[in-house]
Each structure stands twice: as C-alpha cells, then as structure tokens.
Amino acid sequence: MDYEVCRKVWESHVPCQFTLQSSGGTHGEPLPFYTMLPRFSYLALAIQKVLSSFNRRDDGEKVHSDKMWLEHNGIPLKMYIPIGVIYDQANLSENDSILEIIVRTSQPPPQFQMVDRDMMEAMFMQNIKEADYLKTKAEITKNMMKDESAQLWRSVCNSMGVF
C-alpha cells in the first residue's frame, strides 16, 4: 500500500456527537458532546472523556461506564470495533457526516458487551497478531519485543489523550 494512503488513514479523524439519553428529569436535555476521534482508535478508549463531559452537568447526576451502553440508529455499538469501521458501516450521507451516538443508561441489550481498557488492549494485540499472520505468517509480531507491542498500544491510547 502506498505510504501516503497509509499516513492519511492513520491521521484521519471521525466527527462524533454523543448524546445522553433523556433521564426524564426536570433539568432538560443535557447538551451533546462533540469530538473528533481517530479512525484507528476505539470507543472503549473514548468513553471516559465522553462521560466526564456529561458528569459535569448541573443536576449532579453521574453516568458510570459500567452502567451505560452505546447505540447508533437503534443498533448497539461494539466497543471493540475501530471507530473508522463503525463510521464507514453507518453509511452516512455527505450532508450528515457526523456519527451520532446515543449514550444509554438503561439496561443494555443482551448482545451488547462492555469492553474496558485492559480488555481492549488484549483484543487489539490479538487483532494485530491475526492480521500479521494472514499477511506475513507472523513474521513481524513473532520478532516484536514486549516493549514494542506495548509502545504500539500506547500510540493508540496517546491519540485519544488517554495516557
């Protein structure tokens, strides 16, 4: 693949709008949280920043990551799929290019699985190993040192301002 194409994919971002589901309270709807998320990153890494925005509301209600789930157009989102893939699958038109995500605090559907940061790291490394095996029969990952694989994960986290 051309270097310039790889660089543009690595550096590109997805415009996202996170809206907190209405709690039915008397304080009205909380304002949405807008952000640009790297295509190669994951919702599991973005959720703390989103929740900290919603948790600064005047009504004092807090949203906890273990008590919420995400959806787009009525479909629960998979936290372990790269944000760029979720964006591409949303089939957004040119006029509506913002990925609108609803943060729900109700009981999650059975098919939703919350993924924390440690689990996401393990899944990320497994995906890297699988992709390397398919492409080079694991020539690259079997020669990686432990600190190199950790550095690769840190680069994903750093792009989100997580580390």
Predicted pLDDT at 69: 92
pTM summary value: 0.81
Segment 70-110, tens digit of pLDDT: 999 989 999 889 999 999 888 776 667 899 999 998 888 88
CATH number for the region 3-104 comes to 3.10.20.620
Stretch(es) of the chain classified as CATH 1.10.246.190: 117-159
Stretch(es) of the chain classified as CATH 3.10.20.620: 3-104
Task: Give the confidence band of 56 by pLDDT, cuts at 50, 70, 90.
Answer: confident
Interval 48-75 mean pLDDT: 84
- Identify the residue with better confidence: 70 or 25: 70
Q: Say how far apart CA 72 and CA 70 lie, in whole Å.
A: 7
Segment 102-150, tens digit of pLDDT: 999 888 888 888 888 889 999 998 988 998 899 888 888 888 888 888 8
Predicted pLDDT at 16: 95
Interval 55-83 mean pLDDT: 85
CATH number for the region 117-159 comes to 1.10.246.190
- Cα-only R_g, the chain: 17
Interval 12-28 mean pLDDT: 78
Backbone angles phi, psi at 7, to 5 degrees: -65, -45
Share of the chain above pLDDT 70, in %: 89
